A = this chain, B = another copy of it.
Amino acid sequence: MTYAVGIDFGTESARALLVDCEDGTEVAVEVHAYESGVIDEQLDGVPLEPEWALQDPRDYVSSLQHAVPKLLAEAGVPADSIAGIGIDFTSCTMLPTLADGRPLCFVDELRGEPHAWVKLWKHHAAQSEADRINAVAGERGEPWLQRYGGRYSSEWFFSKALQILDEAPEVYARADRLLEAADWIVWQLTGIETRNMCTAGYKAMWSKRDGFPDRDFFAALDPRFADVVDEKMSRALAPLGGRAGGLCERAAAWTGLLPGTPVAVANVDAHVSVPAVGVTGPGRFVAIMGTSTCDVLLGADLAPVDGMCGVVEDGVLPGLYGYEAGQSAVGDIFAWFVEQVGDTHSALAADAARLRPGESGLLALDWWNGNRSVLVDADLRGLIVGLTLATRPPEIYRALIEATAFGTRVIVESFERAGVPVDGIVACGGLPDRNPLLMQIYADVCGREIEVASSAQAPALGAAMFGAVAAGVHETIVDAVHAMAAPPQVTYVPDPVHFETYDALYREYLRLHDLFGRGGDDVMRNLKALQRSTPIAVS
C-alpha cells in the first residue's frame, strides 16, 4: 500500500490526514489545536489595536511535531509507506523572517513588536494601505487590478507588507524575507525556500504572463518599497503539482517520516479543495465553508469579474483560470451569535428549522467581518433589521444564515454576469456536514442544487493528492483526482416555494447591500470613523 500525508493548516488548528494513494481512502486523521490560536487581543500583556490578528509560527511547527507522529501511530503504517507529503495553509497569512527563515518574532529584541509576528488572513488593520494601493493602481492604470475584481484587499500580501513598512520601518528593514506561511512551512519541511504560484497569483499581484508589477508602482506607494520583490521576495515561483524538495533531517525528526520523503509545493486551503471534491474543469462553483467562506470556480477564459478576490492562470489546476471569491465571515457569525445568547448551535438550528422563510420579518447584512466579495471593503459592518419585542434567538440565527446565503448568491450572480458560467455548486469545509439547515437554506436561496463533498477533510485530502503527485504516484493532479476523489455524498434540492419567498427577500437584501455597501449611505464608515476618534475620558 502507498499513502500520502496531507496537512491542512487552519485558523485555530492543523489537521493531518493519511490517505491511500490508490483509492483515496482516508485512513486516519489527527488534529492539533494551536496553543496561541488567533492572537487578537494582546501580545505578552500589551493590548493589540482593533482589527489585528496574529499567529505564532511555533504553533505550526508544534503541529508537525505532534499531529504527524500520532497520525502514523493511529494508522499503524510504517514511515516508509508514506510516498509524499502535501500541505495547504490559510492565505494570505504572511510573516517576516531572517535570511535563514527564522521568523522575526523569534528574535529576542523583536518579540514584543507585533509587526514581527505572523499576520493571519483575517488581520484587517491594513485597510488604509489597501486604500493607498487601490488609489495608486487606479491612477496608474495598473493592468493587474482587474484580476482582483477592481479592488485589492486589505487582507492581501502587499497591504500587509506595506503596513509593516508604514508602522514599523525598523521591522521592515530587519526582514530579509517576506513570505506566505504556506511557503514558510514548506521551507521548514525541506530546508529550501520554495514559493508557490497560487499565493503569488491570488495575493501578491503576480501572473504567469506579466510577473509582478513594475518597480515604479511599488516606488509610487513608498520609495522604500520600490524593491520589495527583489529584496525580500522572489521571482522564482513553483507551479502547483511540483515537488518542493525532500523532507530534511530536522523535519524528519519532528514528524517521524523518512528524510527525503517528497514534499509538494505549498497550496492554499480553498484552492486545494477543488481537486479534493472531484472538480477538474469549468462550471462547478466550489464553496469551502468554515469560519469564513472561500469560493473557487474554474474557467476556460479570462474575464474580469466585478468584486472577485482574484483570478490566476494555473492557480488551481494547470491549463485553467482559477477564480476566487469569498465571504470574510460565515461560521464566525453563527459562533458569535451562539456565544452572545449562550445557547447551542443544535438547539438554535432545531428551532430555526421550524420557521418558514420570511416568517421572522428579519433581514441581515452578513458583514460582521467586512465584505470580501463583491464589495471588497473591510470597513463594512453587520446589520440586522426587522427586530421586534417578539423576536427570538432562533429567528436571528436563521436570519444570519440567510444573510450569508444571500451573500453567496450575490457572488454566483456576479460570475454569471461576467460570463463565467456556474453550472453547479459543491460545498465542503467544516460547516456543511454540521448544519443541514444551513445547506437547505443555501439551496433555497440560490435556487440551485448543492452537492456536499463526501470528504469532511477536503483541504487535507487535496494536499495529500498534491503529495501523491509530488511523489510521482500519480502523474498529474487530474490523474490523482480520478483515482482518489469520491463522488458527493448528499445533494440539497431547492424547495420552489421557499425559493420564491427568498427571491423577494433577496431583492430587499440587494437594496440594503447597495445602499450601505456602494456608498448610498455612509453610516457604517462614519460609525467606524467615530469609533476611532472618540476621545478617551479621563477617569
- Which residues of A are in contact with B by a Cβ distance under 8 Å? 50, 329, 332-333, 336, 340-342, 356-363, 368-369, 381-393, 495, 497-498, 501, 504-505, 508, 511-512, 515-516, 521, 523-524, 526-528, 530-531, 533-537
Q: How far is the CA of A530 from the CA of B501 in the complex (A)?
A: 8
Which residue from chain B places its CB closest to the CB of A343 in the assembled complex? B342
A226 CB to nearest chain B CB (Å): 35
Q: Choose one: B369, B388, B533; the contact of A368 (CB below 8 Å).
A: B388
**A387, B393: Cβ atoms closer than 8 Å:** no
Q: Can you pick out 14 interface pairs between chain A and chain B where the beta carbons lie within 8 Å of each other?
A: A341-B341, A356-B534, A356-B536, A358-B527, A359-B534, A360-B531, A361-B531, A381-B386, A381-B387, A382-B391, A383-B385, A385-B524, A386-B524, A501-B535
**B527, A362: Cβ atoms closer than 8 Å:** yes
A403 CB to nearest chain B CB (Å): 11
Q: How far is the CA of A464 from the CA of B383 in the complex (A)?
A: 47
Return chain B residues, CB-CB under 8 Å to A50: 390
**B526, A508: Cβ atoms closer than 8 Å:** yes
**A356, B535: Cβ atoms closer than 8 Å:** yes
Return chain B residues, CB-CB under 8 Å to A516: 385
**B383, A383: Cβ atoms closer than 8 Å:** yes
Return chain B residues, CB-CB under 8 Å to A362: 527
Which residue from chain B places its CB closest to the CB of A498 in the assembled complex? B537
Which residue from chain B places its CB closest to the CB of A387 in the assembled complex? B382
Q: Choose one: B341, B495, B497, B508; the contact of A527 (CB below 8 Å).
A: B508
**A508, B535: Cβ atoms closer than 8 Å:** no
A36 CB to nearest chain B CB (Å): 18
Return chain B residues, CB-CB under 8 Å to A521: 511-512, 515
Return chain B residues, CB-CB under 8 Å to A508: 523, 526-527
Return chain B residues, CB-CB under 8 Å to A512: 521, 523
Which residue from chain B places its CB closest to the CB of A41 in the assembled complex? B390
Q: Choose one: B332, B515, B523; the contact of A389 (CB below 8 Å).
A: B332
Return chain B residues, CB-CB under 8 Å to A342: 341-342
Q: How far is the CA of A362 from the CA of B383 in the complex (A)?
A: 10
Q: Choose one: B357, B384, B537; the contact of A387 (CB below 8 Å).
A: B384
Q: How far is the CA of A340 from the CA of B394 in the complex (A)?
A: 10
Which residue from chain B places its CB closest to the CB of A396 in the assembled complex? B340
Q: How far is the CA of A385 from the CA of B391 in the complex (A)?
A: 17
**In the complex, which of the residues A383, A389, A392, A535 has the most CB atoms of chain B within 10 Å of its own CB atom?**
A389
Contact A389/B358 with A363-B527, A384-B384, A511-B521 known, Cβ cut-off 8 Å: no
Q: How far is the CA of A193 from the CA of B115 in the complex (A)?
A: 79
A437 CB to nearest chain B CB (Å): 14
Contact A393/B340 with A357-B534, A535-B356 known, Cβ cut-off 8 Å: yes
**In the complex, which of the residues A361, A382, A511 has the most CB atoms of chain B within 10 Å of its own CB atom?**
A361
**In the complex, which of the residues A336, A362, A387, A515 has the most CB atoms of chain B within 10 Å of its own CB atom?**
A387
Return chain B residues, CB-CB under 8 Å to A389: 329, 332-333, 336, 368-369
A496 CB to nearest chain B CB (Å): 11
Q: Choose one: B361, B382, B497, B534; the contact of A381 (CB below 8 Å).
A: B361
Q: How far is the CA of A269 from the CA of B67 in the complex (A)?
A: 69
